[in-house]
Structure 1
Amino acid sequence: MLSNERARGIFYQLLLLAAVFGVGWYLIGNTLHNLSTRQIQVGFDFLGREAGFEIAESQIAYAPSDSYFRAFLVGLFNTLHVALLGIVLATAIGTLVGVARLSTNWLMSRLASAYVETMRNIPLLLQLFVWYGLFTELMPPVRQAIDLGGGIFVTQRGLYYPWPEPHAAWPAAGWALLAGIALALAWRARAKRVRDRTGRQLPVGLPMALLVLGLPLAAWAALGAPTSLVYPELRGFNFRGGKVLSPEFLALLIGLSTYTAAFVAEIVRAGILAVDRGQGEAAMSLGLNRGQELRLVTLPQALRVIIPPMTSQYLNLTKNSSLAVAIGYPDLVAVANTTMNQTGQAIEAIAILMAVYLSISLLISLFMNWYNNRVRLVER
């Protein structure tokens, strides 16, 4: 059998796989034996016990009497919150800076270059410390809050802003927005099928805008069109009412976004330069201005170059959010650290962290690969 090259290759791969499993089995068994010898309990039963510690910020309801499982969920949602917002901001800032680096305006291109070289050559952790220091040390105390107008205040304790009063119309508008986005995407797909089959171009922009904006507005209006806002007011030693973004959250969000945006800018610039110059010249000969040529011709073709490395930056941003523990933002890592200190279940807590970050990274990769397949150029 080993005289056959294909059979020999399969045999060696199976042998290597068996060796890897054998080493893994030995390490796990040895670890469990050592833990048992030292009378260290192993398992995830602790997740059902009462956590007993406060979490400063939470996207879902939480109290110290809740379980460790609930505390991990709070940390997970906090991580997803800052990661998703960071991805959106980094993409927007990076795209603008990347385009600015290619501008014919000397000052704009030099400022964009200075931003990229500065941000990506300073360690992210140091940048987080700088942003956190700006909010906690340079901002005024609560009683001397900076009034930005419209009920928005900036203090050492964060950014306070108005928020709509609770009303059934707001959740309904949110669900209608999701429905409008789904219907708009379905309409765009139908318009593409009609164009490919018959050559007739159905209107796309206006119907999509009407669906995305009109459905939420209709749901909001149908349930009373509430406009009342709760404004933050200074009462005692702090503001009451409205919403607040903590210094930890703001420092982490700004730090992650501006740092990652420097890398995104270079990816966007490289993607645009990868498009043949003749494409832009052809667009200009058709009467398109520079903005239309960039939006309708260059960027769609540049996406095939931009998306793969952009996926890596999204993954980096999500994983870099674990640095939140350095400035006190209660993300998943911070919750896991507190849990380890209280329960001693270090192996289990670290396993949860690894599984969660691996799952998030795989989901981001799957989505970006799907999107890459949707926008890739089809060669004939």
Structure 2
Amino acid sequence: MDYNWNWGVLFEEQYLSWLISGVGWTFSVALSAWVLALLVGVLIGVGRTLPNRPIAFLCTTYVEIFRNVPLLVQLFLWYFVVPEIVPQDMGRWMKRDMPNPEFVTAVIGLGLYTASRVAEQVRAGINAVGKGLVAASYANGFSTAQTYRYVLLPISFRLIVPPMTSEFLTIFKNSSLALTIGLLELTAQSQQIAEYTFQGFEAYTAATIIYVVIALMATVIAQMLEKYTQIPGFVGKA
């Protein structure tokens, strides 16, 4: 293949600043969406396990809707459709005056989508604790709220560290879809470099390496956290 390789283009001031900017937006979107996903996902996951049927039904409905609608469709709905169906003044503000509408939309869309996946992990962790501990807590006079606070949640949160690592990595990868609504994150900046320089291999290779480094860093941190939070008898060797 007759291709003119030029890795030096990535270190030119303009294009290097684009990559750095893209990494910054990727981290901003992914971490902000992760915070939202944790807050909403924990509430939804706990709600799915409550003995209150209406609450459990509503939480299950949330999970089924957000988990089964493609993320790209959800981003389009939040960015293009929602401003048209809310009251006119609010819609005008969302389209014209809201600071960084692409960023806000990406965080909301990605965060609420990931929350449905986090909720499933939380629900699975609570169910993995076992009925024996729950029965023992009630036998000792704990209320439902106290059982969750002192028994179920402290144990389940430690059990779900490994699967939550996968969700954390996934939210970084899914952040690349934000380019479809105009956010210049890492993938979008790589695409822009490729279009300006015609050095597509170099641009996308740089993006790939950065994503791999992020994934490796997150994996190492997660393994350390998993080892620290491991519960003898539940995960790993006692």
Would the TM-score normalized by the shorter structure come out above 0.5? yes
Tell me the amino acid that sits aligned with residue 88 of structure 1: V
What is the CA-CA distance between 1:134 and the residue it aligns to?
3.5
Q: Which residue of 1 aligns with 2:37?
A: 90
* 8 Å Cα contact 2:66-2:112 kept in structure 1: yes
Matching residue within 31, 42, 45 for 2:8: 45
Tell me the amino acid that sits aligned with residue 153 of structure 2: L
Q: Which residue of 1 aligns with 2:15?
A: 68
Q: Distance in 1 between matches of 2:52 and 2:10?
A: 58
* 8 Å Cα contact 1:311-1:365 kept in structure 2: yes
Q: Which residue of 2 aligns with 1:288?
A: 142
Instruction: Provide the secondary structure at the position in 2 that maps to 1:104.
Output: coil
What is the CA-CA distance between 1:158 and the residue it aligns to?
4.9
Matching residue within 47, 51, 55 for 1:108: 55
Tell me the amino acid that sits aligned with residue 171 of structure 2: L
Q: Which residue of 2 aligns with 1:360?
A: 214
Answer 1 or 2: which has greater helix percent. 2
* Unmatched tracts of structure 1, length 5 or more: 1-30, 50-65, 147-152, 160-243
What is the CA-CA distance between 1:316 and the residue it aligns to?
1.1
Q: Distance in 1 between matches of 2:37 and 2:71?
A: 14
**CA displacement 1:114-158 (0-9 Å, x = unmatched):** 1111111111111110000145544678xx568xxxxxx943135
Tell me the amino acid that sits aligned with residue 17 of structure 2: R
What is the CA-CA distance between 1:287 and the residue it aligns to?
3.4
Q: Which residue of 2 aligns with 1:259?
A: 113
Q: Which residue of 2 aligns with 1:351?
A: 205
Q: Alpha carbons of 1:375 and 1:334: their partners in 2 closer, same or farther (altered >3 Å)?
A: same
Alignment of 1:1-380 (within 5 A): 34-35=2-3, 40=4, 42-49=5-12, 67-134=14-81, 136-138=83-85, 144=89, 154-159=93-98, 244=99, 246-379=100-233
Q: Alpha carbons of 1:95 and 1:158: their partners in 2 closer, same or farther (altered >3 Å)?
A: farther
Q: Distance in 1 between matches of 2:87 and 2:153?
A: 43
Q: Alpha carbons of 1:136 and 1:335: their partners in 2 closer, same or farther (altered >3 Å)?
A: farther
* 8 Å Cα contact 2:10-2:202 kept in structure 1: no
What is the CA-CA distance between 1:332 and the residue it aligns to?
0.8
Structure with greater contact order relative to length (CA < 8 Å, sep ≥ 6): 2
* 8 Å Cα contact 1:139-1:156 kept in structure 2: no
Q: Which residue of 2 aligns with 1:225?
A: none
Q: CA RMSD in A?
A: 2.1
Q: Distance in 2 between matches of 1:302 and 1:94?
A: 14
What is the CA-CA distance between 1:67 and the residue it aligns to?
2.0
Tell me the amino acid that sits aligned with residue 8 of structure 2: D
Q: Alpha carbons of 1:275 and 1:372: their partners in 2 closer, same or farther (altered >3 Å)?
A: same
Tell me the amino acid that sits aligned with residue 80 of structure 2: G
Instruction: Provide the secondary structure at the position in 2 that maps to 1:156.
Output: helix
State the number of aligned residues. 234
Instruction: Provide the secondary structure at the position in 1 that maps to 2:160.
Output: helix
**CA displacement 1:226-281 (0-9 Å, x = unmatched):** xxxxxxxxxxxxxxxxxx2x221122111111111111111111110111212122
**CA displacement 1:1-21 (0-9 Å, x = unmatched):** xxxxxxxxxxxxxxxxxxxxx
Rg (Cα) greater in structure: 1
Q: Alpha carbons of 1:158 and 1:101: their partners in 2 closer, same or farther (altered >3 Å)?
A: farther
Q: Distance in 2 between matches of 1:332 and 1:48?
A: 15
* Unmatched tracts of structure 2, length 5 or more: none
Q: Alpha carbons of 1:262 and 1:354: their partners in 2 closer, same or farther (altered >3 Å)?
A: same
Q: Distance in 2 between matches of 1:281 and 1:139?
A: 47
**CA displacement 1:328-370 (0-9 Å, x = unmatched):** 1111111111110110111110111110111111111111221
What is the CA-CA distance between 1:110 and the residue it aligns to?
0.6
* 8 Å Cα contact 1:322-1:333 kept in structure 2: yes
Identical columns (%): 36
* 8 Å Cα contact 2:71-2:113 kept in structure 1: yes
* 8 Å Cα contact 1:274-1:302 kept in structure 2: yes
